[in-house]
Structure 1
Amino acid sequence: MSNIEKHENNSHELVNTDHKTLERRIVRKCDIYVLPLLSIAYLLSVIDLDNVGNATVAGYDYLYLNTTPLAFTFSVSAHFFGYMIFEIPSSLVTNILGFHVWLPILMVGWSISSATQAACTNVTQLGIVRFLLGAFQAGVQPSIVTYISLFYAKKELALRYSILLTLLTLGGALSGFASYFIVQISGTSLSGFQWLFIIESIPTILMAVIIALFMTHGPGNARFFTPEEREFEIERLKSEGSANKIDSNLAKSQVKLAFIDFLTYSYLIIFLITGIPFYALNFYLPTLVSQLGYNNIQAQLMVIPPLVISTVFMIVCSWYSDKYQIKANLALVSYSLSIISLAGMLVTRADNPNLYNLRYFLVIVLACGVYSVVPIAFSWFTCNIPGQYKRSTMTAIILTANQIGGIVGLIIFPATDAPSFYMGNIVCLASVILASILTFGLKFYFELTNKKRDLAILANHNYKLNDNDLKDSKRIREIAMELVEKELKFDELLCDKHPNWRYIT
C-alpha cells in the first residue's frame, strides 16, 4: 500500500472517529435536555389523569356524587372519548403551530380541567370535565412520540420509548405517595380529595411555562446544540425522514398519504388489539393479584414485583431492539409470553389455593409480555415511516385506535367474573394471537417489499447476480445499497414508497 493510500485511510478513520464522538455528544445532549422535559410532561399527564383513582379512595366516589357505580365509572372514563375525537386534529395542530407552542397550551388546558374536578358535585359535571381533560391530553402522546423521533435515530428510539412507558408505573407510585399526604389536609372549607385535584395540577402549569420558554420546533433550532452539532444532527437524521422544512402542498400530500396507506390500518389494528390487554392489565392488575389469597394491603404490595420485573424486562428488550434493529421478532417473543400466561390462567383453577403461586407467576409473565411489546411497536412504525407530517398523522390515527382498545380492556373484567375472569382472559388471548398473526404478516410483507426493491435497483444498474447471490437476501441488500449509496433514501413526496427506502423488520 502506498503512502498516499495509507494517508487517505488514516484520514477516513479519523473522520469516522470524529463523527462517532460528535454523535455520542449529540445523543447525550438530547438525553439531558429533551428526554427529561418530555418525560416530566408525560408523567404529569399521567398523574393529572389518574389522580381521580386516589381521590375515589379518599371519598370522591359515586356516593359523594349521588349516583350509581356504573354512572360514576362511565363519567370517569369519559376522557377516552375526548382522546378519540381530538387525537388526530390535535396532532395536526402540533405540526402547524409547533410542539413548543401547542404542548404548553394543552398542558394549561388539562391542568385546569383536572383541578376543576374538585368543583364537580354531580356525575354530569364530572363527565364533562373528564371529557375536556381527555380532549386536551389527546394530542400529548402522539406529539411526544413524534417529537422524540425528530431528535433520535432509528437505533435509539425503542429505549427512549420504554423510558416513557415506565412513567405509567412511576406516575401511579408518585401520585399515590403524594395523595397519602394531601388527602389528609383538614381544617379548611375543602375536602382532602379536592385539595388533591388542585395541588397536583399546579406543577403542570409551571412545566408548561418551562417548555414554552425552552423547547423549540425541532433540532434545526435547538438552543442546546452548537451550530456544528445542529448541522450534524440534521444530516444524520435526514436519510431517516426526520424534520425537514416542506411547503404546505407537500404537507397536505403527506397527511393524505397517511390516511390512504394500508400500513396505517395494519398498524392501527395491531395497536387496537394490543391496547386491550395493556389497558386491562393497567387497571386490573391489583384486582388479579387480590384474587390470589391476599388481603387489600398485601395485594397493594404484591403488585410491585410484577411491575418491577416487567419494567426491567421491557427496558432490556428495548435496548436489544435498538442495538440490533430487531422489531417484529422481539414483538413476537413478547406476544408469545402473553399467550402462554393467558392460556395458563384459563386452564388453571382460580379458586384453588394450591395454584395461587403458579397463577401469580403467570401474572408476572403476562406483565412482561404486555408491557415489553409497546415501546418496540412504537419504534417499529416510527422508524418505518419517513416524512414528518405522514408520521405524525399516522401516530395520531394509530393511538386513537389504541384508546378504543383501552375502552374494551376496561369492560371485559367485570367484578361478577371473579376470580377466574374467563371472559377477560379469553378476549385478551384472542387479541394477542391476532396481533401475533398480523405482526408476522407485516414482517413478511416488509421483507418481500425490501427484496423487490433491491432486485429492481440491481436490474436498473444491469447488475448480474450469480446463483449463490440470488439465494442470499443479505448479500443482495448489500450490493443494492452500495449501488445507490450516494442517492437519497426517500423524498418528501413518496416517503416510505421511495424505491431506495428499506423497512426495518
Structure 2
Amino acid sequence: MAAFSDAEKQDLDRLGQASPDSDLTGSGQASVDSQVDYSPEEEKALVRKVDWALLPGLTFLYLLSFLDRSNVGLAKLQGLMKDIGLADKPEAYNTSLALYFVGYVLFEIPANMVLKKLNPRVVLPTLTILWGITAALQCLVKDEAGFYVARFFLGVSEAGLFPGIVFVLSCFYARKERTLRVSLFFGGAALAGAFGGILGFGIGKIEGGALESWGYLFLIEGLFTVLVGVSAYWWIPASPSRAKFLTERQRAILVARLRLDGGSTDEEPFSWQGVWDAFKDPFVHAYGWLFHCFAFGLYSLSLFLPTIVAQLGYASWRAQLLTVPIYALAFLAILVFCWASHRVNQRGSAIAVAGGIAIVGYIVLIATHTAGARLAGAFLAVGGIYAANALLLSWPSENVSPQTKRAVTSGNQIFIGDIGAITGSLVYRPSLSKNFYRLPHGVAILFTGLGCLLALSLSFGMHRANRTGNVGRAERVEKKGEEPKGDRRRGYEFQI
C-alpha cells in the first residue's frame, strides 16, 4: 500500500487519477488505481519521451555555459592580455579566473533555493540570458578593472545553472536513471571544449572592424547564448505534473513511478527545515568536498589546456585545434564510465578508477620531455578528470531526498567544489609555466588522490548504512523528537 503526501494526492486528483490507497507493485507494472495501470513498455516509452524533451536542450545550455566561461583561455592566446594592457601583469589572468569562481561560489546556494521556491521554466532561461549578455559585453573590456568586473559578474550569472539542471532532472527521473542523464548533460562540458577549439580557430580568422579577434569571440558566443536563452522559455518544463509535452495520463504515470521509487513529486513546497537538514547531514558535505578535490583538475585543465598544449611547441592556432581531440576523448570517457558504473551498480569505485587514470596522465605530463608523450598525458588527465566529475556530480541526485534538501545539496556541492576551482586558477601561475607547470600538476595529483580516497570512504559509509537498514541515521533524528524523512528514514537504500 502506498502512502501519498497531500501534495501528491492533489497532483493525482487534478489529473483525475487519485487513489490514496493505491497499490504500487514492483513487478514492472504499477497501479495508482484502475485507470493508471501501465506496462513496462509504456513506462519505457514515457522515459524516452522525457529524454528527448529534456536532455538535448539542457545539455546544450550547459555546453554554452562552459563555453562562455572557458573561452577566455582561447582569447588569451589571441592577444587579450596584451590588448587590454596586461602583458606585463601575467598574474592578472589568474586573478580574473579566481574572481569568476568567487562570484560563482557566493551565489550558488541562493540560486538553487530561488529555483526551488520559484519556477525552473522562468529561472533557468533568465540566468542564460543574463550570462549571455555578460559574456558578450566582455568584448568591450579595455583595462584591468573592467576585465575583473566582467569575470566576476559572469560567475554570478552562471551560478545557478548546473545545480538547477541537476535538480530539474531529479524531478523527472527515478533514482537509478539519474546518473546516466546527469553524466550525459555534463558531457556538454567536454563538447564545449571541443567546439570551443574549433570556434576559436574560426573566429580568430576574423580581421578588421571595431573589435580584435578575441572581442568577436566573446561577442558572437555571448549573443548566441542570449538567443538560446530566449527560446528556453518555451521548452524548459515547469514541473512533471505541468509538463506540456506529456499527456495527462503520462503525467499521472510519472507522478506514480516517482513515488514508487521513493522520491517525491515536484509540488513539494519549499521548506526551511529541508535547508537545515541538508547542512546537518555529513553525507551532504562529503559530496561537496569530493567535488572540491576533483574541481581543481577540472577547471585548471579547462582554463589552461590551450596554454599547456601551446607550450609543447605548437603555434597558437594549432594549440586551439589540438584541444578538440582531447575533449572528444573526454566525452567518450564520460560515456564509457557512466555505462560501466551503471552496469556494475557502483559509483564510488568508478570515480576512484577514473581519478586514478587522471593521476597517471598528470605523472606523464610531469615525467616526460617530448611533445608526443606530454600530449598523451593530457589525453589521460582530461579524460579521467571529466569522467570522475560526471559521476560525482550526479551522485547526490540519486541519494538525497526530499526535494528541498536535494536542491540545497546540489548548490552546496558546487559551492564547496568551486573553492577548489579558485585554488586551481591561482596555483597554475604564469611563473610556473616555464617548467611546464610541473609543480601545479603535482598539486593536482594530490587533490585527485584525496578525491579518490574520499569517494571510496563515502561509498563505504553508505554501504554500512544500507547494511543496517539506515537505522543509525534514523535514530539520530528520532532522538531529537523528530520523524525521519527522505534519506534519513529507516529502510532507505543508498546508491553506493
Give me the TM-score of the superposition, normalised by structure 1: 0.81
Q: For residues 110 and 492 of structure 1, do their structure 2 counterparts lie closer, same or farther at Cα, with a shift above 3 Å needed?
A: farther
Q: Establish whether residue 497 from structure 1 lines up as the match of residue 488 from structure 2.
A: yes
Q: Which consecutive unaligned segments of at least 5 residues does structure 1 have?
A: 1-10, 457-490
Among 70, 74, 78, the residue aligned to 1:50: 70
Post-superposition Cα deviations, 1:415-445, rounded to whole Å, max 9, x if no partner, equal: 4434453322221121122122222221221
Among 83, 86, 92, the residue aligned to 1:71: 92
Letter in 2 for 1:503: F
Q: Establish whether residue 267 from structure 1 lines up as the match of residue 287 from structure 2.
A: yes
Letter in 1 for 2:57: L
Mean Cα displacement is larger for which, 367-376 or 83-92?
367-376
Aligned to 1:482: none
Q: Establish whether residue 386 from structure 1 lines up as the match of residue 386 from structure 2.
A: no
Aligned to 2:298: 278
Post-superposition Cα deviations, 1:37-87, rounded to whole Å, max 9, x if no partner, equal: 211221222233233344444443244346723234423542111101111
Cα distance in 1 between the residues matched to 2:129 and 2:332? 33
Letter in 2 for 1:339: I
Post-superposition Cα deviations, 1:148-194, rounded to whole Å, max 9, x if no partner, equal: 11112223222222322322232234344444454555564444443
Cα distance in 2 between the residues matched to 1:55 and 1:286? 10
Cα distance in 1 between the residues matched to 2:286 and 2:205? 49
Aligned to 1:147: 168
Cα contact 2:197–2:324 (8 A) shared by 1 = no
Q: Establish whether residue 230 from structure 1 lines up as the match of residue 221 from structure 2.
A: no
Aligned to 1:464: none
Q: Establish whether residue 120 from structure 1 lines up as the match of residue 141 from structure 2.
A: yes
Post-superposition Cα deviations, 1:453-479, rounded to whole Å, max 9, x if no partner, equal: 2789xxxxxxxxxxxxxxxxxxxxxxx
Mean Cα displacement is larger for which, 302-311 or 208-217?
302-311
Aligned to 2:380: 365
Cα contact 1:290–1:296 (8 A) shared by 2 = yes
Aligned to 1:306: 326
Give the 5 Å matches for 1:89-488: 89-182=110-203, 184-185=205-206, 188-238=209-259, 239-248=261-270, 251-292=271-312, 294=314, 296=316, 298-346=318-366, 348=367, 350-351=368-369, 353=370, 357-417=372-432, 418-453=434-469
Post-superposition Cα deviations, 1:237-287, rounded to whole Å, max 9, x if no partner, equal: 223424442345xx1111111111111221111111111122222233344
Q: Aligned Cα RMSD in Å?
A: 2.9
Cα distance in 2 between the residues matched to 1:325 and 1:87? 30
Cα contact 2:471–2:490 (8 A) shared by 1 = no
Cα distance in 1 between the residues matched to 2:196 and 2:375? 25
Cα contact 1:91–1:143 (8 A) shared by 2 = yes
What is the DSSP-based 3-state SS (H/G/I as helix, E as strand, rest coil) of the residue aligned with 1:386? coil
Mean Cα displacement is larger for which, 229-238 or 190-199?
190-199
Q: For residues 190 and 30 of structure 1, do their structure 2 counterparts lie closer, same or farther at Cα, with a shift above 3 Å needed?
A: same
Cα distance in 2 between the residues matched to 1:44 and 1:305? 19
Per-residue deviation at 1:230? 0.8
Cα distance in 2 between the residues matched to 1:18 and 1:266? 38
Q: For residues 312 and 25 of structure 1, do their structure 2 counterparts lie closer, same or farther at Cα, with a shift above 3 Å needed?
A: same
Post-superposition Cα deviations, 1:359-384, rounded to whole Å, max 9, x if no partner, equal: 44333332332111112112222101
Letter in 1 for 2:489: H
Cα distance in 2 between the residues matched to 1:111 and 1:391? 27
Letter in 1 for 2:401: P
Letter in 1 for 2:491: N
Per-residue deviation at 1:497? 0.4
Cα distance in 2 between the residues matched to 1:308 and 1:296? 19
Cα contact 2:59–2:187 (8 A) shared by 1 = no
Cα contact 1:291–1:419 (8 A) shared by 2 = no
What is the DSSP-based 3-state SS (H/G/I as helix, E as strand, rest coil) of the residue aligned with 2:255? helix
Cα contact 1:72–1:123 (8 A) shared by 2 = no
Post-superposition Cα deviations, 1:204-245, rounded to whole Å, max 9, x if no partner, equal: 222222222232321111111111111111121223424442
Cα distance in 1 between the residues matched to 2:382 and 2:207? 39
Aligned to 1:36: 56
Cα distance in 2 between the residues matched to 1:130 and 1:218? 32
Aligned to 2:11: none
Letter in 2 for 1:388: Q
Letter in 1 for 2:222: S
Per-residue deviation at 1:27? 1.7
What is the DSSP-based 3-state SS (H/G/I as helix, E as strand, rest coil) of the residue aligned with 1:504? coil
Q: Establish whether residue 25 from structure 1 lines up as the match of residue 45 from structure 2.
A: yes
Aligned to 1:471: none
Letter in 1 for 2:113: L
Cα contact 1:155–1:323 (8 A) shared by 2 = no
Cα contact 2:291–2:393 (8 A) shared by 1 = no
Per-residue deviation at 1:140? 0.8
Per-residue deviation at 1:139? 0.6
Q: Which consecutive unaligned segments of at least 5 residues does structure 2 have?
A: 1-24, 31-36, 473-481
Cα contact 2:309–2:375 (8 A) shared by 1 = yes
Q: For residues 261 and 225 of structure 1, do their structure 2 counterparts lie closer, same or farther at Cα, with a shift above 3 Å needed?
A: same
Cα distance in 1 between the residues matched to 2:284 and 2:110? 16
Aligned residue pair count: 454
Cα contact 2:197–2:321 (8 A) shared by 1 = no
Letter in 2 for 1:120: V
Q: For residues 419 and 297 of structure 1, do their structure 2 counterparts lie closer, same or farther at Cα, with a shift above 3 Å needed?
A: farther
Cα contact 1:62–1:72 (8 A) shared by 2 = no
Mean Cα displacement is larger for which, 282-291 or 261-270?
282-291
Give me the TM-score of the superposition, normalised by structure 2: 0.83
What is the DSSP-based 3-state SS (H/G/I as helix, E as strand, rest coil) of the residue aligned with 1:204? helix
Cα distance in 1 between the residues matched to 2:161 and 2:339? 24
Structure showing greater Rg: 1
Identity %: 28
